[in-house]
Structure 1
């Protein structure tokens, strides 16, 4: 097997697929890892795939020049966002000023990237995505739009930002604005599809998926929680405990304070603004003058934050996530075709039993909701 980058270290940025003129690249997802495999019969050894690969090549990184915590001034944007709504606020002001957003959204059963220049349609990009997204098909279009003089704001994971910058090149970087999301790691989309299927849902027939949200979690409309209020589903638990990321995430070269983008956004964990925590507070690191312009235009409410405390509360600003102790066993069981919940039980039976008790206790409680952030999957039917 000949691969574009080191075996099992592909991040799935898909840039190599677009740069190959002979369609000689195929991405293989084994749940445990991604690999960009080269079809040697089609390959003409031009090395375009290896040259664009952000795993093989370094991209310029910079230390933050300012660091803040804050939230969108628009109450509705903040309420609908996973955290403080920083990404949504910046995206809205950017589009209002004539730019085009390129970011991730859920479409026809996949988390893919799309473009938008209508502020009334930006809500589809909101929310956290606890799964590996697919940027296939965006690179050439981004470059074409930049060549035509358009301003593009790309919001994605650090590896995806690096891939876009490698593909575009420095010639067109002036009109390219980038935001990276401080990332724990991401699992194969095959895991999410299997998990939902085992719960009786076909991912292709779902209107949307929410991995975390801030609201009163009573059932409304066609929104369905996979677990009762206050109970975390096992997919979310596995994600938050670093149980199921692909191999490359545990060696991520972007998990550091020096960042690849104009702005980096995450959660301001352990904020000293306690009265705002339940509403969501974003951590914002700005590396460039372009990033400063974006923040100024967004009219966000920004407050001081201690950088040392922010880094201590976000390990991804120091080092990659460390695999859970039973991670390899869990992934092996899944690869053998075991059900998601059973695989998890075989690794952590006590956790599953405790969650069953939580489920029972939740059903015994009287109605009501929960004010704050919920880390559990909800689906919206079409």
Structure 2
């Protein structure tokens, strides 16, 4: 039976729970808000399926194969505005929906918890747009997706690399012709508990509720300086950039990540998915015609099926680039984030402090933060933020 002795050896993909033939495994949140498998030992029949489908116990070795790479821009302006980068996922998902298929991805529920779910209508794809900077709950979607596949339906299953590889192990590594796997390049997955406490931060009465949330809102400053945006029922709107917002500061300083993210087994160029998608902030190095601060998706096709889908996309601007150019200095594709030495102290404080106290201690609005915010916002207004950012990237050797 599955047994987690070291939390860095569990990515929370839920493959074990979905594979259990007698449903004796449940995913239970720990004190940090991350889910781990709990086995009812009285019911367990020791069949070993949970261990056989675990993507960490059965790490898929990386083997080189031919890849194709693309820049993709959805030409629907509304979809582009609502999407984190170039709206490629919606375009690909539309092809599956139009063929009578089913699309799985991460979405908010009515409490703004993040869960995996599926849709069968084009208009419902909007729930998957915009990044979700929090680990989603897979629940029983592996089993649901397999049932659709076995019934002959076309299925697109998307998620973080560990979730997609978990599903791939769950279905027995079978090459279903009616399955498309898409993974999104992932820095790391933050704690659902941190997200839960953050979104309740500052609410003055129980009747006030969150109405909208976007981790990468492009409406104010565009793609190069997107920011988190929350809208509440009392009309309050909170928005802040990466240098100011406490949730983003925790995430990008590697304080709120799942332990397994510090030893991620899925950071690699050659993957089990059909397509890997992620940002392309340096698009000006590949094609200046995409460089308008609206966003563009970089896609790496790992299979012939993935290549054909991209090349046949409708209502998209597409440019093929070399795979080597696509992955050049793509740090988050292949490199694991480093654990912040203060991570344990942060979670101890999260458990005992009110969130406003936590913010004051860990993320004060210092002179340094105020200066960075002032520079970012005013450079963007003056139209010099992007060129300045490029100079800095060159100086730091990131181009």
Aligned to 2:13: 13
Aligned to 2:3: 4
Distance 2:208 2:47 in 1: 37
Distance 1:262 1:13 in 2: 19
Say if 2:137 is the partner of 1:134: yes
Distance 1:156 1:61, change over 3 A: farther
Q: How far is the alpha carbon of 1:87 from its aligned partner?
A: 1.0
Distance 1:219 1:26 in 2: 29
Q: How far is the alpha carbon of 1:311 from its aligned partner?
A: 3.2
> Which residue, 209, 213, 217 being the options, matches 2:217?
213
Distance 1:313 1:116, change over 3 A: same
Aligned to 1:338: 353
Aligned pairs (5 A) from 1:108-257:
108-109=110-111, 110-171=113-174, 173-200=176-203, 205-216=209-220, 224-227=236-239, 232-257=244-269
What is the root-mean-square deviation of aligned Cα atoms in Å? Answer: 3.4
Q: How far is the alpha carbon of 1:243 from its aligned partner?
A: 2.3
Aligned pairs (5 A) from 1:289-328:
289-299=304-314, 300-305=316-321, 307-308=323-324, 310-328=326-344
Aligned to 2:389: none
Q: How far is the alpha carbon of 1:352 from its aligned partner?
A: 4.3
Distance 1:209 1:113 in 2: 17
Aligned pairs (5 A) from 1:24-103:
24-31=25-32, 34-59=35-60, 63=65, 65-103=67-105
Distance 1:158 1:203, change over 3 A: farther
Distance 2:372 2:281 in 1: 25
DSSP 3-state at the match of 1:215:
coil
Q: How far is the alpha carbon of 1:25 from its aligned partner?
A: 3.7
Q: How far is the alpha carbon of 1:340 from its aligned partner?
A: 3.9
Distance 1:146 1:235 in 2: 38
Aligned pairs (5 A) from 1:257-268:
257-268=269-280
Say if 2:290 is the partner of 1:276: yes
Distance 1:149 1:306, change over 3 A: closer
The runs of 5 or more residues in structure 2 that have no matched partner are: 222-228, 387-399
DSSP 3-state at the match of 1:226:
strand
Query: Deviations along 1:241-285, whole A, 9 cap, x unmatched?
Result: 322101001111111112221000000122224563411011111
Distance 2:62 2:383 in 1: 40
Q: How far is the alpha carbon of 1:18 from its aligned partner?
A: 2.3
The runs of 5 or more residues in structure 1 that have no matched partner are: 374-382
Moved more, 127-136 or 69-78: 69-78
Alpha carbons 1:101, 1:115 under 8 Å: kept:
yes
Moved more, 161-170 or 181-190: 161-170
Alpha carbons 2:182, 2:274 under 8 Å: kept:
yes
Distance 2:125 2:158 in 1: 12
Moved more, 222-231 or 121-130: 222-231
Q: How far is the alpha carbon of 1:47 from its aligned partner?
A: 1.6
Q: Scaled by the length of structure 1, what TM-score is found?
A: 0.84
Alpha carbons 2:168, 2:272 under 8 Å: kept:
no
Distance 1:179 1:26, change over 3 A: closer
Which structure is higher in RCO with an 8 Å CA cutoff and minimum separation 6? 1
DSSP 3-state at the match of 2:267:
coil
Distance 2:237 2:250 in 1: 17
Q: How far is the alpha carbon of 1:68 from its aligned partner?
A: 1.9
Q: How far is the alpha carbon of 1:199 from its aligned partner?
A: 2.2
Distance 1:6 1:16 in 2: 15
Distance 1:7 1:135 in 2: 21
